[in-house]
């Protein structure tokens, strides 16, 4: 340390000490980075640390961003068994975690969605595998919480549903539901904050994380491409051992610090990705060829009529989330001059239409795993960020399908106990803040057996309580008074009478004095 004395002026001669500091151990800007080896020669070598009984976190959404190179290497180690696998879904066929399900290496899945994975569904329904169904946003937050050193948290998602009650069995006895429950669900603690009900969710801790990335440098700084981020970032930050398979492994310094999604501190091992990308639902713009609705003109017309009515509820500039199925038809019927920002819970704000064949991209999919495009001004992000938008009430309108809706606005759309387990997906999160996000249900008025789907009370496990503000079917449209628990018919389809609607509805309802036309 050097010092010298200065004077404020020749007359005062007041002494003002000025201290100059010289750091003895300064670091040069061009100092070499640590040389710890993170790049491994093969996926087979990198996964040797995985052992039986481990909790395996596997990134990806559908087949988008799934670490198939690492999963394939682990599948070649049949001695590794009794894994607990954490993933949004369990792959499809022999892709994604489907490969480990078929090899019998997974004993328990913690997932939000089963979807069309019939093999997984039957393993669960026959008591051959354990399944903890978790709302999609809660799953992302439980993973993020452990990574941030938070043991548990309270969320509105799942309050007053089977999730809070622990009513969904984790495992049936061998042979299925008729033989009883082997492992019941876990009942959740609840509390009220500011008049709203919340349930406590514990953090999830992983032993190993498998993640696929677009680009990674040799110290682990990682970049994801479009919607491949999904659960990958929170999983990589969570696990004791994180292994990244990358399409491009680049030298240190090749990636701008502004472009890094996942800092290298979270990455332990890096391997070259060799598995080809898969597309679960290849969808292109109509006229470009897939003819997915060919042969069903009547059913398609009915669905479009419902979607056209739902589109009238949207205003220019709205942020809107669309569920899978019928809700995806709504953008085709937006009123003239109305433009909206479509949000997809797997990490898109500004989702565009289906691509042409030439613009098909496996890394850009929607929540239904369909290939889509991005509009100018779009942004992409991980699942944790996406569900913060949703739970926080930043989405103006959510349009969903349903199996049942009650007169009080309860909605059921994720399972038929013992028969059908589609999974919760993002629906519970989407209906968790109905005071700020208007929830509209679009569905056919009756089930295939002719029974009503609008009821006094839902007989199926509810997705959300007093959450729906409007119901639109091919027969009419209803406003829901969630506080009073009452329905009002506001629109009637052409050629349909109020008496017919009453006959096909499982509860009473009011009729607006001036009925509109559907």
Which residues are known catalytic residues? 345
Give 64's strand partners: 61
| Apex 183 CA angle, 181 and 189, nearest 5 | 115
Distance CA 388, CA 146 (A): 17
Per DSSP (E only), the strands in 252-312 are 269-272
- Give which of 432, 517, 474 is closest to 201, Cα–Cα: 432
Distance CA 318, CA 322 (A): 12
CB 304 within 8 A of CB 332: yes
- Give which of 159, 165, 269 is closest to 208, Cα–Cα: 269
- Give which of 425, 428, 227, 393 is closest to 319, Cα–Cα: 393
What size, in residues, is the chain? 518
Residue 482, phi then psi, degrees to nearest 5: -70, -30
Distance CA 486, CA 324 (A): 27
| 510, containing H or E segment | strand 510-517
| Apex 231 CA angle, 225 and 235, nearest 5 | 115
**Helix extents (H) in 178-296:** 232-238
């Amino acid at each position: 340390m050097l010092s010298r004395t200065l004077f404020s002026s020749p007359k005062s001669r007041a002494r003002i000490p000025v201290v100059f500091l010289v750091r003895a151990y300064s670091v040069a800007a061009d100092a070499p980075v640590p040389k710890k080896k993170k790049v491994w020669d093969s996926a087979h070598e990198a996964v040797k640390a995985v052992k039986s009984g481990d909790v395996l976190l596997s990134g990806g959404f559908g087949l988008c961003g799934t670490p198939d190179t690492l999963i394939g290497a682990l599948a070649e180690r049949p001695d590794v068994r009794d894994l607990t696998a954490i993933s949004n879904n369990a792959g499809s066929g022999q892709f994604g975690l489907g490969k480990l399900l078929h090899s019998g290496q997974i004993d328990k899945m913690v997932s939000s969605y089963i979807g069309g994975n019939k093999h997984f569904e039957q393993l669960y329904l026959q008591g051959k595998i354990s399944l903890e169904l978790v709302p999609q946003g809660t799953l992302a937050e439980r993973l993020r919480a452990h990574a941030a050193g938070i043991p548990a948290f309270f969320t509105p998602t799942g309050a007053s549903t089977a999730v809070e009650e622990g009513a969904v069995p984790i495992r049936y006895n061998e042979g299925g539901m008729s033989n009883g429950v082997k492992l019941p669900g876990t009942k959740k603690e609840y509390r009220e904050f500011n008049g709203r009900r919340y349930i406590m969710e514990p953090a999830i801790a992983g032993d190993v994380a498998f993640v696929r990335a677009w680009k990674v440098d040799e110290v682990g700084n990682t970049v994801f491409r479009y919607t491949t981020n999904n659960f990958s970032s929170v999983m990589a930050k969570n696990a004791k051992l994180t292994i990244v398979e990358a399409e491009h492994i680049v030298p240190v310094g090749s990636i701008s610090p502004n472009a890094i999604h996942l800092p290298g501190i979270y990455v332990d091992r890096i391997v070259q990705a060799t598995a080809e990308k898969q597309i679960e639902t290849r969808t292109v713009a109509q006229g470009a060829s897939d003819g997915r609705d060919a042969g069903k003109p009547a059913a398609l017309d009915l669905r479009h009529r419902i979607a056209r009515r739902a589109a009238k509820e949207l205003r220019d500039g709205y942020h809107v989330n669309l569920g899978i199925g019928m809700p995806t038809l709504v953008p085709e019927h937006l009123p003239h001059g109305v433009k909206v920002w479509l949000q997809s819970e797997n990490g898109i704000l500004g989702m565009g239409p289906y691509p042409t064949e030439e613009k098909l991209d496996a890394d850009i999919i929607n929540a239904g795993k369909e290939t889509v495009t991005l509009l100018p001004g779009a942004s992409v992000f991980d699942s944790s960020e996406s569900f913060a938008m949703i739970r926080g009430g930043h989405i103006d309108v959510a349009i969903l399908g349903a199996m049942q809706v009650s007169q009080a606005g309860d909605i059921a759309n994720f399972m038929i106990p013992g028969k059908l387990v589609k999974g919760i997906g993002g629906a519970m999160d989407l209906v968790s803040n109905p005071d700020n996000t208007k929830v509209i249900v679009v569905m056919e008025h009756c089930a295939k057996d002719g029974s009503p789907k609008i009821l006094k009370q839902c007989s199926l496990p509810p997705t959300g309580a007093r959450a729906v503000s409007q119901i639109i079917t091919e027969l009419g449209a209803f406003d829901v008074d969630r506080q009073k628990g009452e329905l009002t018919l506001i629109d009637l389809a052409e050629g349909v009478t109020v008496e017919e609607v009453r006959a096909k509805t499982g509860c009473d309802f009011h009729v607006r004095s001036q009925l509109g036309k559907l």
